[in-house]
Amino acid sequence: MFDRAMPERYNVRAKNNSTDVYDRNSIIKKIIKFLDDVPGLSDKNNQSVELTIYFGYINFIEQPSFPKKYGDLKTLVSDKADQIIHFSYGNPTKMNILKVNFN
């Protein structure tokens, strides 16, 4: 459980092409597809599903820029089977969120 600050098993699609070019719309589309695929959301009247989005740092995922964050995980990555991912919480003082103009 990441709640206990432990790494967890996660299937990383290492062969997928990804890009460093920032395309906001395609990112949002991808996220919506993730969210949309959740079975619990299929009932439009379901009033019990909660979404929480955490801000933090992924130590490992499928982007070209991520090897910088590999660290000791590098050997695990070469397995290409189930991989380990670790999510650590962000420091809010470093976030632009405090600069967002809330209306």
Distance CA 39, CA 42 (A): 5
Eight-class DSSP state of 77? H
Residues in the chain: 103
Which residues face 89 on adjacent strands?
A: 56
- The pair phi, psi for residue 89, each rounded to 5°, is -75, 150
Between 55 and 70, name the residue whose CB sits nearer to another protein: 55
Which x/- pattern over 51-70 shows residues binding another protein (rule: CB under 8 A)? xxxxxxxx--xxx-xx----
Task: Name which position in 9, 40, 68, 75 contacts another protein (CB under 8 A).
Answer: 40
Tokens of 84: 């380990």
Q: Please give the Cα distance from 32 to 101 (Å, whole number).
A: 25
**Quick check: 5 binds another protein (CB under 8 A)?**
yes
**14 is a site residue for another protein (CB under 8 A):** no
Residue (75 or 92) nearer to another protein, CB: 92
- Catalog residues that contact another protein under the rule CB under 8 A: 1-5, 10, 18-22, 24, 27-28, 30-32, 34-44, 46-58, 61-63, 65-66, 85, 87, 89-103
